[in-house]
Amino acid sequence: MPIPAANLYPPFNITRLSHVEYGVTDLAASRTFYVDILGLQVTHEDDSRIYLRAMEERGHHCIILRQSDHAGVACLGFKLYDTPDLEKAAAFFEGKSLPVEWIERPFMGPSLRTRDPWGVPLEFYVKMDRLPPIHQQYRLYNGVKPLRIDHFNMFSANVDAAVAFYGEMGFRVTEYTEDDDSGRVWAAWMHRKGGVHDVAFTNGTGPRLHHTAFWVPTPLNIIDLLDLMSTTGYVANIERGPGRHGISNAFFLYVRDPDGHRIEIYCSDYQTCDADLEPIKWSLTDPQRQTLWGAPAPRSWFEEGSLFDGAETRDSDLKAQPIIAP
Amino acid sequence: MPIPAANLYPPFNITRLSHVEYGVTDLAASRTFYVDILGLQVTHEDDSRIYLRAMEERGHHCIILRQSDHAGVACLGFKLYDTPDLEKAAAFFEGKSLPVEWIERPFMGPSLRTRDPWGVPLEFYVKMDRLPPIHQQYRLYNGVKPLRIDHFNMFSANVDAAVAFYGEMGFRVTEYTEDDDSGRVWAAWMHRKGGVHDVAFTNGTGPRLHHTAFWVPTPLNIIDLLDLMSTTGYVANIERGPGRHGISNAFFLYVRDPDGHRIEIYCSDYQTCDADLEPIKWSLTDPQRQTLWGAPAPRSWFEEGSLFDGAETRDSDLKAQPIIAP
Amino acid sequence: MPIPAANLYPPFNITRLSHVEYGVTDLAASRTFYVDILGLQVTHEDDSRIYLRAMEERGHHCIILRQSDHAGVACLGFKLYDTPDLEKAAAFFEGKSLPVEWIERPFMGPSLRTRDPWGVPLEFYVKMDRLPPIHQQYRLYNGVKPLRIDHFNMFSANVDAAVAFYGEMGFRVTEYTEDDDSGRVWAAWMHRKGGVHDVAFTNGTGPRLHHTAFWVPTPLNIIDLLDLMSTTGYVANIERGPGRHGISNAFFLYVRDPDGHRIEIYCSDYQTCDADLEPIKWSLTDPQRQTLWGAPAPRSWFEEGSLFDGAETRDSDLKAQPIIAP
Amino acid sequence: MPIPAANLYPPFNITRLSHVEYGVTDLAASRTFYVDILGLQVTHEDDSRIYLRAMEERGHHCIILRQSDHAGVACLGFKLYDTPDLEKAAAFFEGKSLPVEWIERPFMGPSLRTRDPWGVPLEFYVKMDRLPPIHQQYRLYNGVKPLRIDHFNMFSANVDAAVAFYGEMGFRVTEYTEDDDSGRVWAAWMHRKGGVHDVAFTNGTGPRLHHTAFWVPTPLNIIDLLDLMSTTGYVANIERGPGRHGISNAFFLYVRDPDGHRIEIYCSDYQTCDADLEPIKWSLTDPQRQTLWGAPAPRSWFEEGSLFDGAETRDSDLKAQPIIAP
């Protein structure tokens, strides 16, 4: 299926991805990982939840860690442009017969909870509590110096259909991988905020969250994180990288949190705000697609992901084979 | 005057700054500077003009160098979102009794030429010839490895009024400097594309172009440029920096091209796409405003700028005094 | 066998490793690799030889590429402190019944050619033609910006014996790997010039040259090389890395030249000039020994190396098994 | 006076500079600066003294901070190669009618205290308590990530004579500045350990300590320190830089501790171990001598320094004028 043309006039205006809520089985261990190792800042915590923000963010949180009996993802949050967009979003999802619910969320104004057609729990809002800027409080920088949440990447059992649905909402494809044999889309990267992506879909058993990514200042910060993790007991949490992506051209590292949730550390992609940006197409058989430097990803990277609460997974019928490290 | 609230529904949709045309008095000397030293890529050249693009750009050009008998700025170009925005832009400027002209521009689709109320020549378009991506052609990276044009900064004899006018067009203030005594705005930074600014205004004799800025991957690239310039005969072209800005938090360097046009090399500012982003206010007397590390800018930085063709300058009546290096 | 105590009063004074001569089968292809990709500077070339130096070196050459019908290593060169050291070196090798020959070498003063007990061809000299400094000619920096030759690493069929012999010459052990089962030394790193090593020995079929290493300014330069190699047709020449070594703590990358000669790009090790520096011992079974970040080296890294002209290899009888990537 | 030829066979063997003892007037304030801001590690502390080491050092300390009623420098320490060098050092200084005293120093073996001909208190030793390596304890890295002490730079009222004396001890000149008018040496950089310098002398009222320098991994670490200092109340402690030196080619920053003692943060100089290294000569009137990028040093940099306990200063009779920032 061809990549749909960008929808320049979506039914409601999504500014950017905003936050993710992870169920974690050991809140203290997760706190250590996200705060002491990655360097996110605690904005609120109690016995069951920790709210975190990154260094240049002024919204109250980009990650919520919630003590749970199982690891999972409660929702992916997106910030809308302005108040009228809330009702428009509700109308869009109701028009698709998707569940729509108005909820109260701590530190946030009115929020809409819904699911995409495959069950991914989505949350939309306009107002989140604002905090003072800390981007120049250099004493606070720690770990990998995470600056902001950058994107979500999801396993999808039907990437073509996911691209079509999210495309209706105004996400625009910047790069994609095509399976030469079937002509179907293996993976796609889609943005709202002007970088390579806010969301991405990768063929596989889905829906599952493949990873959440954070933007950092330079590749040297990623090297610092590797040095830190490998000498503080987290060497087993290093999954893939560092390296330079073919797709996106970003410098990356993938790590796994104490529950196995995958986090990507990411920098140096490119500006995509032009409405007429032409998506870059890659072939699934291109060995430089995932890592420009050639090293294939490990099997775990292709197979493991985080389950969304309340969303049953389904296998993909697209059986093409990516290049996997032995 | 207070900073106006962001206009979330401007009359037409400007995606981003796009390009600048400089009149230069020695095209060959300018070519050497922009291509061999800064590292921009030539996309077209003839006896009188050189078109250049930066490494991640796919639009045909971000700078036009035009052989001229005098140094000046012919226009500042901005890319619009979609075709209907052209007519809307024309209507906006006509409604302000500002001159509107449809022009043919090489390598570009229909273009609108106009002036802001102070005479700054502006150019708006939707389509520019697209070129193949070169961001992964690492053999081509040279000089400071410029990735994209980032912003324009203009001297303005009435920053409050400039902020109001550009604010009507949808530019949103991210940071500004207030003169405590008068309560007037000394300088303001305004964006469309989600970084700290696409345009900025600094109090002074205006309108004049203070500088055009390029985004680079890391501060080490700026250090590389300083090493290169200082050992290839361009040490006198280094004007100010390197340093960390207070305003914007970006790492910067200011250099002067062979005609004295000022170019800023810039990286590491922050994401501003949230509609409810609160502008950060600075006091004119804050010594860390311009350089977080304290070093004041030289007098030339406050006084020298490039003239816009066809725009007479006027002195500002705001006589507050910034901190100037001795 | 225990690591011998440092010989603080060796029979002659070796300042540092100096140069290597590689037989290469396609001089033009090698020239492209070492000059255009790595960034070494040509100091002399003719139909059969190319002499290269790195950016902060003032000796005439650190690498000689010699057109040959087979790939091999003609010699490893070492610079001696002062003229009397030449005769002392000759006496040392003669005293060991090792072959000693005075030879004329282009661009060099009197040179002693000999072999270590395993046949490695060694060359010692005091004077090499001196060239003007180019370390501040920033226009010349290219590729990975190699600053100087840093070390040689050799496969040895008897590392304990190699350590003893080179130890007599004054090389001091900074780090070593012990095979817990046998108590024998699997690998050792030995220095003269105050870094982690000038020479190193790794258990395996030997003698063969495992690699020659170059020092670069920062890890970002190594990332630049990876980006360049992977987009100019050299992705297959990337063998291992980038990464942080456990041993030496250096940031590294291993690449293979067109003949398969292995080159390491290396930075950030530590100062070792203290006579009482205690060697750091690692266990062969420590998964962080080779890469602090855990990724094991590929089989090729353990098995492939360059033959020394005129030196027959012998298998090692030390059959311990390092950790090899699948 | 010409630069003396290198003394390749000095009367005793100095391995490297080792440590400095500073008298400080507020031990707690100094602790905050050296530990929390610069990132040095405390190895011992009590009510009156704090011993610090840098991240790759295994000797017990490189700095001693001693509570005092006045700011000053108690001694500059140097490590000798081997035990016999202690007696040889004593004989050398006694032969010059300079005071020689054997002293007990905490955490050190037998130590020789003496003074150079101008009264600079020098300390020589062979053994210092050794500590476990911490260079791979990445959790401990902080501040500017100082790796090791790199050099001392002293004001001297007679640089020619200082160069001659230290040259007798085996320090070898790598770079120097000549005053064209008088032919005298304005400044000189001299090494033992193979970098650009262990000691340097700068014309001025002397003897006074101009600065102590620390080596860091990359220029980005220096930028990190500037960001940290400027946002934690230390912006006034930033004296000069960052920049690229002409002399040494190192990337540098000069800061002042709470007592005004000057500390240089330094990286990326070059290897100098060759006995026949030719000193690089600079002219005092070369504007790129001190900063390759052209920016002159402030007056304070030329005039202010730390007094050595018990050493009276004398003005220099060399009245040439360096280039000073207005």
D323 pLDDT band, cuts 50/70/90, is: confident
A140 touches chain D (CB under 8 A): no
Amino acid at the residue B129: D
Distance CA A127, CA A133 (A): 17
Q: What are the tokens at C88?
A: 């002392």
Distance CA C3, CA C20 (A): 27
Q: What is the pTM of this model?
A: 0.98
Mutation test of the interface with chain C: which of B38, B137, B139, choosing the one with the most C Cβ atoms within 10 A? B139
Characterize B111-140 residue by residue with b for buried, 16 or more Cβ atoms within 10 angstroms of its Cβ, and e for exposed.
bbbbbbebbbbbbbbbbbeebeebbbebee
Q: What are the tokens at B212?
A: 């055009």
- B214, B68, B53, B79: which is closest to B135 by C-alpha? B53
For residue A261, what are the contacts with CB-CB under 8 A and spacing of at least 6?
A: A22, A24, A71, A73, A209, A211, A212, A306
Distance CA B168, CA B14 (A): 11
CB neighbours (10 Å) of residue C133?
Answer: 15
A227:C220 CB<8 A: no
How confident is the model at residue C1, as a pLDDT?
60
Q: Between residues D321 and D317, which one has the greater pLDDT?
A: D317
Mutation test of the interface with chain A: which of B62, B137, B220, B276, choosing the one with the most A Cβ atoms within 10 A? B276
Return phi, psi of residue A300, to 5°. -55, -35
Mind giving me the DSSP string for B96-156? TT--EEEE--TTBSSEEEEE-TT--EEEEES-B-B----TT-GGG--TT---EEEEEEEEE
- B255, B244, B250: which is closest to B288 by C-alpha? B244
CB neighbours (10 Å) of residue C94?
Answer: 12
pLDDT, tens only, D199-224: 999 999 999 999 999 999 999 999 99
How confident is the model at residue C137, as a pLDDT?
98
Distance CA C229, CA C221 (A): 12
**Chain C residues with CB inside 8 Å of A238's CB?**
293-294
B241 touches chain D (CB under 8 A): no
Return phi, psi of residue C232, to 5°. -125, 20
B271 touches chain A (CB under 8 A): yes
Cβ atoms of residues B66 and B49 within 8 Å: yes
B273:A193 CB<8 A: yes
Mean pLDDT of B84-109: 98
Angle, in degrees to the nearest 10, between helices A219-230 and C219-230: 110
C132 touches chain B (CB under 8 A): no
D148:C270 CB<8 A: yes
**Chain B residues with CB inside 8 Å of D227's CB?**
244, 292-293
Q: What are the tokens at B304?
A: 């020298």
User: How many CB pairs (< 8 A) connect C and D?
Assistant: 82
D294 touches chain B (CB under 8 A): yes
pLDDT, tens only, C265-317: 999 999 999 999 999 999 999 989 989 998 889 999 999 999 999 999 999 99
Distance CA D189, CA B29 (A): 38
Mutation test of the interface with chain B: which of A18, A136, A271, choosing the one with the most B Cβ atoms within 10 A? A271
A287 touches chain C (CB under 8 A): yes
Q: ipTM for the complex?
A: 0.96
State the nearest Cα–Cα gap between B47 and chain A, in angstroms. 31
At residue A10, the 3 state secondary structure works out as coil
B218:C220 CB<8 A: yes
Angle, in degrees to the nearest 10, between helices D219-230 and B219-230: 110
Q: Which chains touch A (3 or more CB pairs under 8 A)?
A: B, C, D
Cβ atoms of residues A211 and A254 within 8 Å: yes
How confident is the model at residue A87, as a pLDDT?
98
Characterize A122-137 residue by residue with b for buried, 16 or more Cβ atoms within 10 angstroms of its Cβ, and e for exposed.
bbbbbbbeeeeebbbe
Sheet holding A49-53, edge to edge: A41-45, A49-53, A63-67, A14-24, A72-80, A121-125, A111-115, A100-103
How confident is the model at residue D1, as a pLDDT?
60
Characterize D263-274 residue by residue with b for buried, 16 or more Cβ atoms within 10 angstroms of its Cβ, and e for exposed.
bbbbbbbbbbbb
**Chain D residues with CB inside 8 Å of C270's CB?**
56, 135, 147-148
Flag whether pLDDT at D83 surpasses 80: yes
B182 touches chain A (CB under 8 A): no
Measured in whole angstroms, the distance separating CA C57 from the mean position of its chain's CA atoms is 16
A1 pLDDT band, cuts 50/70/90, is: low
Distance CA D67, CA D29 (A): 11
pLDDT, tens only, B136-150: 999 999 999 999 999
Instruction: Please work out, in degrees rounded to the nearest 5, the angle formed at the alpha carbon of residue B322 by the alpha carbons of B321 and B325.
Output: 120
Q: Where are the alpha helices (DSSP H) in D59-133?
A: 84-95
At residue B235, the 3 state secondary structure works out as helix
Return phi, psi of residue B58, to 5°. -120, -10
**Closest-CA residue in chain C for B138?**
C228
- Output Rg (C-alpha) for chain B, integer angstroms: 19
C139 touches chain B (CB under 8 A): yes
**Chain A residues with CB inside 8 Å of D232's CB?**
138-139
D238 touches chain A (CB under 8 A): no
Bridge partners for D24 per DSSP: D67
| Closest Cβ opposite residue A235 in set C223, C242, C293 | C293
Sheet holding D14-24, edge to edge: D41-45, D49-53, D63-67, D14-24, D72-80, D121-125, D111-115, D100-103
Distance CA A153, CA A190 (A): 10
**Chain C residues with CB inside 8 Å of D220's CB?**
218
Bridge partners for C173 per DSSP: C190
- Residue C89: in which H helix or E strand, if any? helix C84-95
Cβ atoms of residues B34 and B257 within 8 Å: yes
> β-strand C111-115 against C100-103: which pairing, if any?
antiparallel
- C248, C256, C232: which is closest to C190 by C-alpha? C248
How confident is the model at residue B168, as a pLDDT?
98
Characterize C29-54 residue by residue with b for buried, 16 or more Cβ atoms within 10 angstroms of its Cβ, and e for exposed.
ebbbbbbebbbbbebeeeeebbbbbb
Q: What are the tokens at C1?
A: 């066998």
CB neighbours (10 Å) of residue D235?
Answer: 17
Distance CA D198, CA C301 (A): 38
A47 touches chain B (CB under 8 A): no
Distance CA A268, CA A293 (A): 16
Would the CA dihedral through C169, C175, C177, C180 be positive or negative?
positive
**Mean of the per-residue pLDDT values for chain D?**
97
A246 touches chain B (CB under 8 A): yes
Return phi, psi of residue D139, to 5°. -65, -25
B102 pLDDT band, cuts 50/70/90, is: very high
**Chain B residues with CB inside 8 Å of D244's CB?**
223, 226-227, 230
Mean pLDDT of A278-283: 96
**Mean of the per-residue pLDDT values for chain B?**
97
- B222, B195, B274, B207: which is closest to B6 by C-alpha? B274
State the nearest Cα–Cα gap between C250 and chain B, in angstroms. 20
Residues (pLDDT < 50) of chain C are none
**Closest-CA residue in chain A for D143?**
A139
Flag whether pLDDT at D2 surpasses 90: no
Would the CA dihedral through A160, A166, A170, A176 be positive or negative?
negative
Q: Which chains touch B (3 or more CB pairs under 8 A)?
A: A, C, D
State the nearest Cα–Cα gap between B52 and chain C, in angstroms. 21
Q: Where are the alpha helices (DSSP H) in chain A?
A: 27-31, 84-95, 159-168, 219-230, 299-303
**Closest-CA residue in chain C for D221?**
C218
| DSSP assignment letter at B3 | P
C235:A326 CB<8 A: no
| Closest Cβ opposite residue B219 in set D223, D288, D325 | D223
State the nearest Cα–Cα gap between A313 and chain B, in angstroms. 33
Mutation test of the interface with chain C: which of A218, A228, A229, A230, choosing the one with the most C Cβ atoms within 10 A? A230
pLDDT, tens only, B150-160: 999 999 999 99
How confident is the model at residue B230, as a pLDDT?
97
Dihedral, CA of residue D8, residue D14, residue D17 and residue D20, to nearest 10: -140
Q: What are the tokens at A105?
A: 């969320």
State the nearest Cα–Cα gap between B73 and chain D, in angstroms. 28
Q: What's the residue count for chain C?
A: 326
A268 touches chain B (CB under 8 A): yes
Flag whether pLDDT at D310 surpasses 70: yes
Mutation test of the interface with chain A: which of C224, C226, C247, C300, choosing the one with the most A Cβ atoms within 10 A? C226
**Closest-CA residue in chain D for C125?**
D274
Mean pLDDT of B250-269: 98
Cβ atoms of residues C234 and C176 within 8 Å: no
- Residue B31: in which H helix or E strand, if any? helix B27-31
At residue A203, the 3 state secondary structure works out as strand
State the nearest Cα–Cα gap between C275 and chain D, in angstroms. 6
Mutation test of the interface with chain C: which of B138, B225, B226, choosing the one with the most C Cβ atoms within 10 A? B138
At residue C258, the 3 state secondary structure works out as coil
Distance CA B68, CA B71 (A): 7
Bridge partners for C240 per DSSP: C254
